[in-house]
Amino acid sequence: MRRFLLLLPAVLFACEGQQATQNASKSASSSSGEQLALSGPPGGGLQQAPGGAQARIYPDVAYPEDVEVEIVRLAELRDASGLMQQLEERLLSDGLGNTQLTLQGVAAESGQPLGNPTPAQSDRYLAQQKYYIKYRDLHLGASSALWQNYLVIQEAATVDIAGIACEHYTLTHRHGMGDAELFLDPATRLLMGWTLFDASGIATARMRVQSVNWAPNLGSASWPVPFVSEQDYAGATDDHLLGLPPLRPSYLPQGYYLAEARILFTEVLLPGFGNLLVERYSDGVRQLFLAQHERDLPPGHQPLAKITHLRLSDLGGLRIAEGDPTRHRLYVVGDLPLSELHTVFGGMLPE
């Protein structure tokens, strides 16, 4: 048990790859000159522009990992203490599925100058870059869910980001669970920026592109190869890969649908840990993750506890519920209130 706990952070999502060179310094502020206010208007993240309303818009988005491009961007994530952590990233993509995301600068809060990342932070990016792009970055989900949960409006005014007058879309949650906004280059459809707000209108995550290079030098790129292979989870026929049938949710927050289920083959690297099942639910914008694996219990050991304990923690933009029901280790992760995560967790336990 101790062995896999020590190894897990380094290996679970580890990737091989070339560590990027640290580029010259840049200031933490956006080169576009756009105002990076930390919070939106009280009581809601976005104001609707008069006359800008259009019904049932599904923005046509080109995600950076789907095109050949090199971008430098500033990610801002709210941490557990409420500060907006700043991360300057360089993303290189060949448009064919190969991506490289490196951390160039870090600041503990908005307004501070960026400093060089620590080796541990760089290593963490090296290991988790694929998942930052896939899971942390904003991706629109099914149109039915998007329209069910959000009012999508293209604002009349454009917003300048990295010297490009970008289309500005506001996504207002119909039940006040937190709004979002995105910015698109009208010529290339490239996602130039996005913001997620919580229910009180405070920004919890934000991304802004600072520079775009449409002719990147891919010749010297070293694409990371995941240590952990993965595949789609096809249902009960794949349960033998998990070691035991997974726990199923009997309760989901309003408007969420199952967008993807994947098996990560962590057992190969960490015997006794079991393979990890990751189910990703989406409300069209936000995501909820249910991840579970078999616990590393001694042979023949049967859990005696009648009551399942779980730990709930607020990490800033994201919250998590973690516990060990029966022979499973279960994680529920999302930006929903802790009480909602607790309800989802409880709904996965037998009565």
Partner 1 sequence: MSTPSENSELPQALVDDLRALGGARAPEELWMRVQEQRQISALAELESSQVVRAPEALWDRVQAARAARGEFAAPRGRVLPWKQLQILSAAAAVLVLGVIGFRYLGEENHTMVQPVLAGATDAATKEALRARALGMVVTPEELSPSARTVAQAFGAALPLEKRPMGMPEEGR
By CB under 8 A, the residues from 221 to 240 that bind partner 1 are: 232
Within 8 A by CB and 6+ apart from 35, the residues are none
How many C-beta atoms surround the C-beta of residue 31 within 10 A? 16
Report how far residue 194's alpha carbon sits from residue 168's, in angstroms, rounded to the nearest whole number: 9
How many C-beta atoms surround the C-beta of residue 185 within 10 A? 18
Query: Interface with partner 1 includes 6 (CB under 8 A)?
Result: yes
Query: Interface with partner 1 includes 105 (CB under 8 A)?
Result: yes
Among residues 39, 48, 144, 200, which is the contact residue for partner 1, using CB under 8 A?
144
Q: How far is the CB of 306 from partner 1 (least distance, A)?
A: 11
CA distances from 202 to 12, 43, 84, 175, 205 (A): 32, 9, 11, 16, 9
Query: Interface with partner 1 includes 118 (CB under 8 A)?
Result: yes
b/e sequence 49-81, b meaning 16+ C-beta within 10 Å: eeeeeeeebebebeebbebbbbbbbbbbbbeee
Q: Quick check: 181 and 195 in contact, CB under 8 A?
A: yes
Among residues 29, 30, 32, 85, which is the contact residue for partner 1, using CB under 8 A?
85
Query: Interface with partner 1 includes 263 (CB under 8 A)?
Result: no
Q: Which is nearer to partner 1, 85 or 172 (CB)?
A: 85
Q: Quick check: 172 and 150 in contact, CB under 8 A?
A: yes
Site string for partner 1, 278-317 (x = CB under 8 A): ---x-----x-x-x---------------xxxxxxxxxxx
CA 256, distance to chain mean position in Å, is 16
CA 286, distance to chain mean position in Å, is 9
CA distances from 112 to 79, 105, 115 (A): 15, 11, 9
Query: Interface with partner 1 includes 274 (CB under 8 A)?
Result: no
Residues 203-222 that bind partner 1 (CB under 8 A): 205
Q: Taking contact as CB under 8 A, which single stretch among the options 9-17, 62-70, 161-169, 237-245 is the one that binds partner 1?
A: 9-17
Residues 20-59 that bind partner 1 (CB under 8 A): 24-26
Among residues 61, 66, 95, 135, which is the contact residue for partner 1, using CB under 8 A?
135
Q: Which of 135, 133, 132, 174 is nearest to 152 (CA)?
A: 174
Query: Interface with partner 1 includes 194 (CB under 8 A)?
Result: no
Q: Which is nearer to partner 1, 169 or 256 (CB)?
A: 256
Q: How far is the CB of 79 from partner 1 (least distance, A)?
A: 4
Q: Which is nearer to partner 1, 119 or 298 (CB)?
A: 119
Query: Interface with partner 1 includes 9 (CB under 8 A)?
Result: yes
Among residues 253, 263, 274, 285, which is the contact residue for partner 1, using CB under 8 A?
253
Q: Taking contact as CB under 8 A, which single stretch among the options 161-169, 180-188, 210-218, 259-267 is the one that binds partner 1?
A: 259-267
Q: How far is the CB of 163 from partner 1 (least distance, A)?
A: 22
Q: Quick check: 130 and 102 in contact, CB under 8 A?
A: no
Query: Interface with partner 1 includes 318 (CB under 8 A)?
Result: yes
Q: Which is nearer to partner 1, 96 or 108 (CB)?
A: 108
CA distances from 197 to 31, 41, 54, 88, 129 (A): 23, 10, 21, 20, 23
Among residues 20, 72, 87, 209, which is the contact residue for partner 1, using CB under 8 A?
87
